[in-house]
C-alpha cells in the first residue's frame, strides 16, 4: 500500500471500514442470492430476508455505489462481481470468507487493549462456540485453499509418493487436490472432530472419498498416525508460539518414513519482520484470536524445522495470494 501523504488519504484509510461493514452486512444477510439473475425492489427483497425495507434500501444503495449491485429505477440487480463471488449458487462463492471476517471484527476493535495486555480478545470471537461461525470458518478455509490448491498440487512433485498426511488440514482441500493431481496417492486429514463432516463432504464432492481419510484428534494431546511419505502443514504454525510449532513439526516428522518430506505453507514475514504488509497485519490478527499465535519469518520457520530434525530445507519457487510461501524439508 502506498504511504498516505495527505490528511485526506489518512482519513480515507481510517474510515475504510465503512465499506468493509457494508460488504459484510450484504454477505451476512445474503442480499445477493435472492436477486438471482433478475431484479428486485427493496420492499420485495426485505420481505424475503425479513428486514426493514427502509434500512435495507439504504444498504442496497450503498452496495450499488460500491458497484456490487446495479440500480435501475427502484430495482436492483447483481453486478458481474456479485454474481460470480457473492451469490451462494456460484461455484466461486467466497461469502464464507467474508462472513468469517465479519466475526473477527469485534476483536479488531479491541486491538489497543490486546496490545496493552498482550492477551487475545477470545471472548469476542464466536467461531469455536457458534456452530454457524465454525461452519463459516471451515468453509472459508476451503474457499481460500481452493484458490491455490490446484496450482500448488501441480507445482509440487509428489511422484512416487503413496501416502500424504494433511496435518491440521480442516476441510482437507489440499489433500483432495494432491490426490486429484497424483492418482496413486492416498491422504489422511488429521484435525479436530468438528472438521470431519466438512472434510468428508469435500472429498465426496471431488470424487476422492475412497482416497482421502479423516482421523480426528488434537496434535498436542493425541498420537498422530504414522507411515506417511509426505506431511503437509498449511496455515497451521501461525496459531502457536515457537514451542508449540516445534511440537507440531516433531509430530509431523514422527509420522513420516525415513526420507519423507515435510512441506510448510504459511504467510511468511521478511526476516526483518516489517513486511510484507499482509503478513504483518495477519500477525496482529493472531494476537487478537490466539493466546500465543503470530506470523513467522522464513528464517524463523527454517530454524524450527531444523530443530525438529529436518534437513535440506528449501524455499520453493511459489508465491500464493497474500504472498504465502512454502518451505520443504527432508527427514534425516
Q: What is the CATH number of the domain that holds 54?
A: 1.10.10.10
Residue 163, domain member (yes or no): yes
- pLDDT at res. 139: 84
- pLDDT at res. 246: 98
Residue 110 domain boundaries: 99-138
Residue 2, domain member (yes or no): no
Reference 213, options 234, 231, 236, 190; nearest CA is 190
Same domain for 207 and 319, yes or no, is: yes
Residue 293, domain member (yes or no): yes
Supply angle C-alpha 202, 206, 211, rounded to 5.
85
Same domain for 105 and 218, yes or no, is: no
CA distance readout (Å), 158 to 23, 141, 181, 187:
40, 23, 9, 12
Separation CA 59–CA 263 (nearest Å): 44
Residue 193, domain member (yes or no): yes
Cis omega (within 30 of 0) for bond into 276: yes
Residue 1, domain member (yes or no): no
Residue 263 bridge partners (DSSP)? 232, 328
CA distance readout (Å), 216 to 167, 171, 192, 194:
11, 12, 5, 8
Per-position pLDDT tens, the chain of length 332: 667 779 999 999 999 999 999 999 999 999 999 999 999 999 999 999 999 999 999 999 999 999 999 999 999 999 999 999 999 999 899 999 999 999 999 999 999 999 999 999 865 444 445 777 878 888 888 888 888 999 999 999 999 999 999 999 999 999 999 999 999 999 999 999 999 999 999 999 999 999 999 999 999 999 999 999 999 999 999 999 999 999 999 999 999 999 999 999 999 999 999 999 999 999 999 999 999 999 999 999 999 999 999 999 999 999 998 889 999 999 98
The two most distant CA atoms of the chain are separated, in Å, by 69
Same domain for 132 and 151, yes or no, is: no
1-6 LR contacts (CB < 8 Å, sep 24+): 1/277
If you compute the radius of gyration of the chain from its CA atoms, what whole number of angstroms results?
22
Number of domains present in the structure of the chain = 3
Same domain for 295 and 188, yes or no, is: yes
Separation CA 16–CA 24 (nearest Å): 13
Report the predicted TM-score, pTM, of the whole model to 2 decimal places: 0.91
Amino acid at each position: 500500500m502506498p504511504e498516505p501523504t495527505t490528511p485526506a488519504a489518512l482519513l480515507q484509510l481510517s474510515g475504510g471500514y465503512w465499506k468493509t461493514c457494508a460488504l459484510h452486512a450484504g454477505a451476512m444477510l445474503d442480499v445477493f442470492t435472492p436477486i438471482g439473475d433478475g431484479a428486485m425492489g427493496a420492499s420485495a427483497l426485505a420481505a424475503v430476508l425479513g428486514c426493514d425495507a427502509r434500512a435495507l434500501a439504504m444498504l442496497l444503495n450503498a452496495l450499488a455505489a460500491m458497484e456490487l449491485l446495479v440500480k435501475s429505477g427502484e430495482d436492483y440487480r447483481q453486478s458481474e462481481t456479485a454474481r460470480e463471488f457473492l451469490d451462494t449458487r456460484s461455484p466461486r462463492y467466497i461469502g464464507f470468507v467474508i462472513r468469517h471476517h465479519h466475526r473477527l471484527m469485534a476483536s479488531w476493535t479491541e486491538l489497543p487493549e490486546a496490545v496493552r495486555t498482550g492477551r487475545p480478545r477470545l471472548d469476542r470471537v464466536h467461531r469455536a462456540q457458534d456452530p454457524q461461525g465454525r461452519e463459516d470458518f471451515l468453509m472459508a478455509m476451503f474457499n481460500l485453499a481452493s484458490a491455490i490448491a490446484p496450482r500448488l498440487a501441480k507445482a509440487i512433485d509428489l511422484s512416487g509418493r503413496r501416502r500424504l498426511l494433511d496435518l491440521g488440514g480442516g476441510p482437507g482441500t489440499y489433500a483432495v487436490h494432491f490426490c486429484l493431481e497424483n492418482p496413486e496417492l492416498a491422504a489422511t486429514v488429521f484435525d479436530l472432530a468438528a472438521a470431519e463432516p466438512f472434510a468428508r463432504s469435500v472429498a465426496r464432492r471431488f470424487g476422492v472419498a475412497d482416497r482421502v481419510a479423516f482421523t480426528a484428534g488434537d496434535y498436542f494431546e493425541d498420537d498422530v498416525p504414522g507411515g506417511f511419505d509426505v506431511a503437509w502443514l498449511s496455515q497451521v504454525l501461525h496459531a502457536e508460539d515457537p514451542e508449540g510449532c516445534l511440537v507440531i513439526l516433531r509430530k509431523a516428522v514422527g509420522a513420516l518414513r525415513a526420507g519423507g518430506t515435510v512441506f510448510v505453507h504459511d504467510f511468511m514475514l521478511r526476516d526483518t519482520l516489517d513486511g510484507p504488509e499482509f503478513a504483518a497485519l495477519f500477525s496482529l490478527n493472531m494476537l487478537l484470536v490466539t493466546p500465543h499465535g503470530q506470523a513467522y519469518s522464513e528464517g524463523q520457520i527454517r530454524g524450527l524445522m531444523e530443530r525438529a530434525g529436518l534437513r535440506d530445507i528449501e524455499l520453493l519457487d511459489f508465491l500464493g495470494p497474500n504472498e504465502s510461501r512454502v518451505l520443504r524439508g527432508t527427514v534425516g
